[in-house]
A and B are shown apart, each in its own frame.
Chain A
Amino acid sequence: MTENKERTKQSALALLNRPNSSWRTCIKYGQPILQVIGVLWVVATLTFGLMQLTNDDVVDQVFSGQQSLSIEDQAEKRAELGLTAPIWLQYGRWLWGVLQGDFGQSMVTGEAVSSLLWSKLPATLLLMGAAVGVTLLIAVPTGLWTAHQKGRIGDKLVRSLTLFGNTMPNFFTALLLLYVVALKLNWLPVIARHNEPTQLILPTITLVWSMSAKYIQQIRALALDELSKPYIMGLRTRGLSWYTIFARYVLRAIAGPLVALVALSCGSLLGGVTIVETIFMWDGVGKMAFDAITARDYPVLQAYVLWLVALYILLNWSTDFWQTKLNRRYAKEADHEI
């Protein structure tokens, strides 16, 4: 009897562990999707809760300037906008709206928040893309070169330079650049007109300055790690040039971690560009958030947070995908628990 039971259990387990079992596929793909949905829901709830902490609501914001509105009228307005409803009902309505892509209206301009966000997003993505692209162009060759030159004068020089990149906050870099490039050398106008390509130069340099420092360090460390492996010695004995070794082997080996690094810094860029965009008057999402903060325009801020989180999660997800594509060894490592 027990033997029979055992056998049933075994066969059930075998069914479950079969590589093409649809049940396993469901778990494999369903779990991360559920996780992403869960994280998004928690973040949405957190932002909603956060905005409830504010003391003033829409009616205070928009109508307090107008003296004509009496207290009774204000109360009526609140009832009309559904602000007197119990909090869970408001939450439900808001969440339902967000699910349909409706983030409400800006308290200041009355514009729909989602269309405002859509109009600002390309500028930020352009700045981000430019910064990441230039950083990679600079940091990959420099990082590999310093790994090759380890301990020599060039390596030391670059490393002391990267210390500056690491320790200068980007608002200070931005102001220094403005002073030197725009005011002293007169190469670029201080405040460029909108949509001019020259306007992109200074914010990009600011971001590249701090990012490339981090990248050079990381790439150098990764390359040194790879260079210490015995197969490099084997390649050298076979007579391959350092150029070939770096281009064909080392670069391929560090591609996976590099992609993860890019995704991570894209995430921090999404949040960190606020300051840079404000200084250089770059009309992107960051400046929009700053303006929303100064005007206490909470729906815009709410949408900003939710959007960036969604974007960041998407980035992280695609990173995992590319990492497994670039290096099959990561397929196993991705499983371990944090």
Chain B
Amino acid sequence: MKYNLDGKQGFKRFGKIQWLLWGGLGVMIFMFVAAPVLWPFDPYEQVLSEVLQGPGASHWLGTDQYGRDMVARILAGGRVTVGLTFVITVTIAVMGTLLGIMSAYMGGFMSWLIRLFINVALAVPSLVFALAIAAVLGGGMGNAALALICVAWPKYARLARSLTLQVKAAPYIKIASLQGQTKWGIFYYHIMPQIAGPLVVTAVLDMGVILMELAGLSFLGLGAMPPMAEWGSMLSLNRSLLQTAPWLLLAPGGAIVVTVAYFHYVGENLRQYFDKI
């Protein structure tokens, strides 16, 4: 991937993408947070008289084998899945970026250690390691998130490191330093605005991938434990009902597809934007 690094604009002209980003996020957060107030059904309440109903007027997406409303479960699951995806992505992006910049700035043991981690992470299929970590830590959403964080941060460290080195090598950085700018000032005024764009693009594009991996771990039984509503575990739980009640699979699957597509779309737009400047 090639990034244009000589733009000074940073986040100034954001335009359409900004609305797309914040608007979509706002709608999503509103839907997930306000779900208990807006939607009359409880995601965990089992109504055994209304088991396995098809999509209809009162239950828009039908009910599952315990009579729980699917719309409520999708919204509750979204809170878990999408919320945790945010937490994971922000954590790895911040952690990886800081470590990558650190390794670009200072030599010595720390830099060597970070580089070693980056090299190892590049040489290893990450999902295999995530599986192993999640398996050893045992189930649970927090452990699945921890496993994904462990394997995903070196990607950002690598990107941040190479970008920082690239920017640092420019002659004007030397001039700024000759003019008396401090190390921190150079970083804050010259390096950070230039490396922020590619990192943000990577993070947004990554959100979809992380969401799918998180749902995948849950699907394998390494994430959410029943009865917790989570899109991946809902798919795995309703797998046996494929023939009788296909809507139970279409609803969480469709939710994943739509959310991932949203992140994908925003990420691609952001990339085009940053490529232009």
Contacts and interface: CB of A to CB of B under 8 A. Distances in A.
B89 to A, nearest CB: 16
Interface string A185-209: 0000000000000000000000000
B92 interface: no
Given A270-B125, A293-B222, A167 B253 contact: no
Interface stretch (B25-33, B187-195, B255-263): B255-263
Contact of A298 (B130, B136, B221, B243): B136
Interface stretch (A88-96, A173-181, A241-249): A173-181
B131 A179 contact: no
A301 B129 CA distance: 10
B20 interface: no
Contact of A316 (B120, B123, B221, B235): B123
- The residue in A267, A268, A271 that gathers the most chain B C-beta atoms within 10 A of its C-beta is A271
A35 interface: yes
B126 interface: yes
B277 to A, nearest CB: 20
A309 B126 CA distance: 9
B78 to A, nearest CB: 15
B136 A169 contact: no
Contacts of B158: 338
A175 B264 contact: no
A296 B242 CA distance: 28
Interface stretch (A15-23, A48-56, A57-65, A78-86): A48-56
A42 B135 CA distance: 20
B124 A171 contact: no
Contacts of A97: none
B257 A164 contact: yes
Interface in A23-72: 35-36, 38-39, 42-43, 46-47, 50-51, 53-54
A134 B237 CA distance: 31
A308 interface: yes
A151 to B, nearest CB: 15
A172 interface: yes
Contacts of B236: 171
Contacts of A305: 128-129, 132
Interface stretch (B3-11, B42-50, B174-182, B211-219): B211-219
Interface stretch (A114-122, A272-280, A320-328): A272-280
Contacts of B161: 338
Contacts of B242: 175, 178-179, 183
A312 B123 contact: yes
B-side interface mostly: helix
Contact of A168 (B125, B133, B136, B257): B257
B119 A35 contact: yes
A125 to B, nearest CB: 14
B125 A312 contact: yes
Contact of B116 (A42, A176, A304, A309): A42
B118 interface: yes
B105 to A, nearest CB: 15
Given A274-B220, A293-B131, A309-B128, A169 B215 contact: yes
24 contacts: A42-B116, A47-B132, A50-B133, A54-B136, A163-B261, A168-B256, A171-B235, A171-B236, A175-B249, A178-B242, A179-B242, A268-B125, A271-B127, A271-B130, A271-B131, A272-B127, A294-B221, A296-B135, A302-B132, A309-B124, A309-B128, A312-B124, A338-B122, A338-B162
Interface of B: 115-116, 118-120, 122-133, 135-137, 158, 161-162, 208, 212, 215-216, 219-222, 232, 235-236, 239, 242-243, 246, 249, 253, 256-257, 260-261, 264
